[in-house]
Structure 1
Amino acid sequence: MGSDAGNQLGKLPPQAVEMEEAVLGALMLEKDALTAVIDILKPENFYKDAHQEIYKAIVTLFNNSEPIDLLTVSNQLKKDGKLELVGGAYYITQLTTRVNSAANIEYHARIITERAIKRDLIKISSEVQRDAFEDTTDAFSLLDHVAQEIYDVSESNIRKNFADMKSLMHEALLELEARKNHSDGLTGIPSGFTALDRLTSGWQRSDLVIIAARPGMGKTAFVVSALRNAAVDFNHAVAIFSLEMSAVQLVNRLISAEAELESEKIKKGNLADYEWEQLLHKTSKLTKAPIFIDDTPGLSILELRAKCRRLKSQHDIQLVVIDYLQLMSGDSSKSGGGGGNREQEIASISRALKTIAKELSIPVIALSQLSRAVETRGGDKRPQLSDLRESGSIEQDADMVMFLYRPEYYGITEDENGMPTQGTGEVIIAKHRNGSLDNVNLKFIGKYTKFADLDMGSGGEGYGSFGSTGIPSEFDSGNTVTFGSKINNPGSDESSSDPSSTTPEDGPAPF
């Protein structure tokens, strides 16, 4: 019986008209009341059109630094030709009688906003239902459109509030105290490269890091090495979105580097019995590592954002890598179905990557291609910021821009100091928002597709100044190859007994 009565009454959209009247009345009673709600309430949050017009008039007066009261609001509405539309001066007078003070205005404003969000969601879901029944609708375009609409509702209504200096100082001091307890100097997610971590203190949370190079310089090899170090040596959950290589190809690279078996042998499966044993033994830690690989081709920024949020909530990922930026697609709903300017699309992608880094409080590393201007330039062909392809916004949005440079790729056999360049790579920090600019030299082992610290002589620590605190003892003993850190101590038992674990001949093979 009760349900029949409910069906006869029908449904009303979510609303709080009485709250709207109370808020508008309070705004006209107390001159400072608007400052408490102006960042919460927008005109479209009001259910009644009349209330929207009254609130617009109040905001106009506020922007013009004029007093807000019964008379000024009525006068503003009269100037706008909206006074009769809202019910005349009598209705505005009635609003001020509905409330005694602005004491609860912020609470009332939040309820109005919540009702508006619900109305927006009902509108979106109605449109989805309508479009989903249409045979001509592309399901994936609709899915992308819905995700963007819901995200826009979330972004426009849920904003982080400001923080006072007292609470910020307390937070900053707690961070400083935590850093003081890190004797190794690492405050972010370690890359596993001693000199680089000393310079950057690790990949910092909320940072967007761009690693750029020409094809063949070893971008993927470098980032996979750093990713593996963070996951295996330091047990940080990491995710890589590989748009260029399949997940299995990426895992084969990890296996090759971890077991120190040539990538060609891994690809062909041409392994001797002892090499199989070596592979199984040395990759046991890799098997348990918290590494998540997504090889979805043509990944859109909306898909990336959704997947990163899911990985953060389910696995608490601490680092995200995108390989590589130019293979991503932007928001098709904003670029007119893909007909937009590519430079604008790349700009929107780089901005979105920075937003993800900040929202999830994790470092986001995006690989990027450099333009051919590097090849046509004379001299040593070192890359520079102007070589970043397709958009200057990549440089603007990034907190750190790093270039990978291998002189031997261009046939340069000696550096400016007369040192041989074979088997070496250089990380050039061209932009560092929160630190200094410098170059870091690393070893490039082409046959194992990995980067490592340059040898520091026999008997040296496996991880330089961070070795004593950062890496568990089994990684520092010389009995296990630490991928991305110093390779095996030539004097260890394993390196002398196993022919494949000796220091390799560094090949210049491009990867």
Structure 2
Amino acid sequence: MAEVVRINESGAATPEPQKLPQNIEAEAALLGALMIDNRLVEDVQIRLKPHHFFEPLHGRIYESILRMTDKNMVANPVTLRPLFSDDEAMKEVGGAAYLAQLTGSGAAVIGARDFAQQIYDLALLRALVGVGRDLVEGALDTSEDVAPLSQIEKAESELYRVAEEGGNEGKVKSFGEATRLALEQAEKALNSGGHLSGVTTGLDGVNAKIGGLHKSDLIVLAGRPGMGKTSLATNMAFAAAQRYVRDMEDGIEPSKSAGAPTAFFSLEMSADQLATRILAEQSGISSENLRMGKISQQEFRQLARASGELANLPLYIDDTPGLTIASLRARARRLKRQKGIGFVVVDYLQLLQGTGKGSAGDNRVQEISEISRGLKQLAKELDLPVMALSQLSRAVEQREDKRPQLSDLRESGSIEQDADMVWFVFRGDYYLAAKKPEEDHPDFATWQEEMQRIYGRADLIVAKQRHGATGTVRMRFDARITKFSDAIDSDYLPEMRG
């Protein structure tokens, strides 16, 4: 505990313990008021819990009052007396007569709500002191196994927990409040031109199917290597951030925007690689040519213009490798607090680490379960959509039909269980290209005709959706600039590049 230094008469410094924030009198007055009028319990029990009392005996008395009123029994000094006959702390303050003493001032009934608020606020301050004390003690511990960054992340997590408790007014909503929220979502969908009640994906076909990315949802986007998972996630992250900027310029309130500042946690690609993809998509210049420097002066000017336009985009990329689920959540909380993010993308789930200290081979399925559960908790805690990319098992490659299924989700059924939506991205031309016969082969003409039919076509398979029906959304994919877009129509035949 922190100490205050006093100077005694001889001039020597003597430490004096500093009292934690508390108000024993307010606690006693509140308990007396509750025993006088049990109806007050309904007003204070949603926020105030027994552990919020500084004096443990007061916490036990409060808990007993809650228990009795919950059973529709009268809670007063007479009915509570048998419960405390053997309580040592009660004996120290005069025994059961203390309960009657608490009800001595009937005037306390008038200020009961104010007493409850003060007790609650002081409990939060004590929790804050506890976080600070743990932080100091941890920082002073210089043993070899202490990791400073993990201590910072833990402290941030604890601070956020205290802050969340302080802002928590209880989860119960009246039906009127619930319908108002539903009406606001409907209004948002109407104002966006229809179909969109959440954060936009940037693709009209996908928005129409799912209604946008909804708060507190975990969306799992899965696919085999080469299908374009990262490209699609990058496209959607960019679209959400860009829409937010546009809505702000149009004077739309942030709460009514169909976009959102976005955090992109890239555990596989570096920030500059992702930026290159976005620049390629926006400038129309091949990402390969950008990397190789094979661009003209005119294309460079296009690139510079696109870069300038994107400079203030609220898209934040964290490319720290080897993140644990705990550190990712701490970083997301920080971005929510500092930048007001409303959408999180994680690329990809299997590259995250759990918090377990076991060896690398220890129960990977259990670790993935912890990670998927942690991502769902993050979505609920920050009240925003979280999109997590995921690998699929090689079972897909063994089948004749390469379209993914829920059973292909790699390493854990908990991914499917925790997710509110599961999407698969599938490109038939990727697999067909691998079967290309020689040009003088009899099947070459048939292969070429089929390739011409499906080239550039991509499917987003909505395999699970808590909010609506499953199904497939047809898209186009331009591999040259890694961009997904809406399919023009069902018989669209893109020009096939050599």
For normalisation by structure 2, the TM-score amounts to 0.80
8 Å CA contact retained: 2:217, 2:385: yes
Q: Output the CA distance in 2 between the equivalents of 1:188 and 1:360.
A: 15
1:328 partner letter: L
Shift of residue 158, structure 1, vs aligned partner: 4.6
Is 1:290 aligned with 2:299?
no
Change (3 A) 1:233 1:44: closer
Structure-2 residue corresponding to 1:357: 379
Candidates 439, 443, 446, aligned match of 2:479: 446
8 Å CA contact retained: 1:50, 1:86: no
Shift of residue 342, structure 1, vs aligned partner: 4.3
Change (3 A) 1:301 1:81: same
Once the two structures are superposed, the pairs formed by residues 302-321 of structure 1 within 5 Å of their partners are 302-321=326-345
8 Å CA contact retained: 1:422, 1:506: no
Candidates 418, 431, 436, aligned match of 1:397: 418
Deviates more, 1:150-159 or 1:213-222: 150-159
8 Å CA contact retained: 1:232, 1:289: yes
Is 1:139 aligned with 2:160?
no
1:449 partner letter: T
Once the two structures are superposed, the pairs formed by residues 226-241 of structure 1 within 5 Å of their partners are 226-232=236-242, 235=245, 236=259, 237-241=261-265
8 Å CA contact retained: 2:160, 2:333: no
Change (3 A) 1:172 1:187: closer
Q: Output the CA distance in 1 between the equivalents of 2:364 and 2:72.
A: 42
Q: Output the CA distance in 2 between the equivalents of 1:428 and 1:370.
A: 14
Once the two structures are superposed, the pairs formed by residues 2-401 of structure 1 within 5 Å of their partners are 11-62=18-69, 64-78=71-85, 83-84=90-91, 87-100=94-107, 102-136=109-143, 137-155=146-164, 158-161=167-170, 162-232=172-242, 235=245, 236=259, 237-281=261-305, 283-330=307-354, 332=355, 335=356, 342-376=364-398, 378-401=399-422
Q: Which runs of 5+ in 2 are unaligned?
A: 1-5, 246-258, 436-445
Q: Output the CA distance in 2 between the equivalents of 1:95 and 1:233.
A: 59
1:110 partner letter: Q
Structure-2 residue corresponding to 1:468: none
Q: CA RMSD in A?
A: 3.5
Q: Output the CA distance in 1 between the equivalents of 2:147 and 2:339.
A: 32
Change (3 A) 1:37 1:278: closer
8 Å CA contact retained: 2:345, 2:387: yes
Which secondary structure state, in structure 1, belongs to the residue aligned with residue 150 of structure 2?
helix
Which secondary structure state, in structure 1, belongs to the residue aligned with residue 212 of structure 2?
coil
Shift of residue 16, structure 1, vs aligned partner: 0.9
Change (3 A) 1:10 1:201: closer
Change (3 A) 1:97 1:265: same
Q: Deviations over 1:57-106 (max 9, x none)?
A: 33443455543111221111227777535641111111111444644323
Change (3 A) 1:214 1:140: same
8 Å CA contact retained: 1:444, 1:506: no
Q: Output the CA distance in 1 between the equivalents of 2:373 and 2:22.
A: 35
Change (3 A) 1:432 1:338: same
Q: Which runs of 5+ in 1 are unaligned?
A: 461-485, 487-502
8 Å CA contact retained: 2:185, 2:197: no
1:421 partner letter: I
Structure-2 residue corresponding to 1:498: none
8 Å CA contact retained: 1:50, 1:85: no
8 Å CA contact retained: 1:54, 1:86: no
Matched positions, count? 458
Q: Output the CA distance in 1 between the equivalents of 2:321 and 2:89.
A: 53
8 Å CA contact retained: 1:22, 1:99: no
Q: Output the CA distance in 2 between the equivalents of 1:60 and 1:205.
A: 35
Q: Output the CA distance in 2 between the equivalents of 1:375 and 1:8.
A: 71
Sequence identity, in percent?
38
8 Å CA contact retained: 1:190, 1:203: yes
Q: Output the CA distance in 1 between the equivalents of 2:305 and 2:490.
A: 26
Shift of residue 380, structure 1, vs aligned partner: 0.8
2:376 partner letter: K
Q: Output the CA distance in 1 between the equivalents of 2:54 and 2:66.
A: 17
Shift of residue 114, structure 1, vs aligned partner: 1.8
Q: Output the CA distance in 2 between the equivalents of 1:303 and 1:176.
A: 36
For normalisation by structure 1, the TM-score amounts to 0.78
1:34 partner letter: V
1:117 partner letter: L
Change (3 A) 1:47 1:56: same
Which secondary structure state, in structure 1, belongs to the residue aligned with residue 85 of structure 2?
helix
Change (3 A) 1:313 1:124: closer
Q: Deviations over 1:440-484 (max 9, x none)?
A: 1212222322222234499x9xxxxxxxxxxxxxxxxxxxxxxxx
